[in-house]
Structure 1
Amino acid sequence: MMPADPVSSRRDQALDWLLRVQQAPHDTQLRAELAQWCARDVANAEAYGKAERIWRLTGQLAPATAEQWPQAMPATAVAMPAGRPTRRRRYWLGAAVAACLMIAVAPSLTLRLQADYRTVQGETRDVTLADGSVVQMDSDTAIAVDYHGSQRDVRLLSGQAFFKVTPDKSKPFHVRAAEVRVTVTGTAFNVELRPGRVDVDVEHGSVRVDDAKRALASALTAGQRLRYVDGRVQVRTFQPSQAAAWRQGQLIADETTVAELVEALGRYLPGKVVLRDQGLGEKRVTGVYDLHNPQAALSAVVRPHGGKVTTYGPWLVVLGRP
Structure 2
Amino acid sequence: MSIHRLVQRDSIVRAEASAWLAQLDKGDLRAADLEALREWIQRSPRHAQELRQLARLSEDLNVLTDLAGPLHDAARSYYVRSPASRRIPWAATAAILAVLAVVVGLVFDARDQPRDAWSKFATTAVGEQREVTLPDGSAIALNSDSRLRVSYGARYRNVRLLQGEALFEVAQDPHRPFVVDAGMGRVEALGTTFAVRLDLDSIEVAVTHGRVRVYDRHAPAPGGGSPVGETPTPAIVLARGERVVIVPPLAEATPETQTVPIRELQRKLAWREGLLDFSETPLDEVVREVGRHTNLEILVEDESLRSLEFNGLFRIGDTGPLFGALKTSFGIDARYIDADTVSLSRRAQDDPGDHPHLD
Q: What band does the TM-score fall into relative to the shorter chain?
A: 0.5 to 0.7
Task: Give the Å deviation of 1:239.
Answer: 1.9
Counterpart code for 1:266: G
Task: Give the Å deviation of 1:299.
Answer: 5.1
Query: Conserved in 1, the CA contact under 8 Å of 2:238 and 2:257?
Result: no
Residue of structure 2 in register with 1:218 after alignment = 236
> TM-score, structure 1 length as denominator?
0.56
Question: SS of the residue aligned with 1:282?
Answer: coil
Task: Give the Å deviation of 1:158.
Answer: 1.8
Query: Conserved in 2, the CA contact under 8 Å of 1:155 and 1:176?
Result: yes
CA distance in 1: counterparts of 2:241 and 2:214, whole angstroms: 15
CA distance in 2: counterparts of 1:152 and 1:228, whole angstroms: 23
CA distance in 1: counterparts of 2:346 and 2:275, whole angstroms: 26
Matches within 5 A, 1:235-250: 235-240=258-263, 241-242=266-267, 244-250=269-275
Counterpart code for 2:136: D
Residue of structure 1 in register with 2:80 after alignment = none
CA distance in 2: counterparts of 1:255 and 1:234, whole angstroms: 22
Counterpart code for 1:173: F
Runs (5+) with no aligned partner, structure 2:
1-119, 220-232, 348-359
- Work out the number of aligned pairs and report it: 208
Counterpart code for 1:222: R
Cα 1:199–1:318 shift into 2, 3 Å: same
CA distance in 2: counterparts of 1:204 and 1:159, whole angstroms: 21
Cα 1:275–1:177 shift into 2, 3 Å: farther
Question: SS of the residue aligned with 2:165?
Answer: strand
Task: Give the Å deviation of 1:119.
Answer: 0.8
CA distance in 1: counterparts of 2:126 and 2:320, whole angstroms: 13
Matched, 1:273 2:298: yes
Residue of structure 2 in register with 1:136 after alignment = 141
Residue of structure 1 in register with 2:332 after alignment = 307
CA distance in 1: counterparts of 2:204 and 2:262, whole angstroms: 15
**Greater Rg, structure 1 or structure 2?**
1
Query: Conserved in 2, the CA contact under 8 Å of 1:258 and 1:302?
Result: no
Superposed CA deviations along residues 236-258 of structure 1, whole A, max 9, x for unmatched, are: 21225446221122323344332
Question: SS of the residue aligned with 1:195?
Answer: coil
Question: SS of the residue aligned with 1:116?
Answer: strand
Question: SS of the residue aligned with 2:145?
Answer: coil
**RMSD over aligned Cα atoms:** 2.8
Counterpart code for 1:203: T
CA distance in 1: counterparts of 2:328 and 2:177, whole angstroms: 46
Residue of structure 2 in register with 1:207 after alignment = 212
Cα 1:301–1:245 shift into 2, 3 Å: farther
Query: Conserved in 2, the CA contact under 8 Å of 1:275 and 1:319?
Result: yes
Which runs of structure 1 show a deviation greater than 6 angstroms over 4 or more consecutive aligned residues?
Answer: none
CA distance in 2: counterparts of 1:154 and 1:127, whole angstroms: 12
Task: Give the Å deviation of 1:262.
Answer: 0.9
Superposed CA deviations along residues 170-212 of structure 1, whole A, max 9, x for unmatched, are: 1211112222221101111222222323222222122122234
Sequence identity (%): 32
**Aligned with 2:277 (options 234, 243, 252):** 252
Cα 1:309–1:222 shift into 2, 3 Å: same
CA distance in 1: counterparts of 2:327 and 2:159, whole angstroms: 36
Matches within 5 A, 1:158-197: 158-197=163-202
Counterpart code for 1:250: L
For CA contacts below 8 A with separation 6 or more, give which structure has more relative contact order: 2
Matches within 5 A, 1:1-322: 116-148=121-153, 150-212=155-217, 215-229=233-247, 232-240=255-263, 241-242=266-267, 244-297=269-322, 300=325, 304-322=329-347
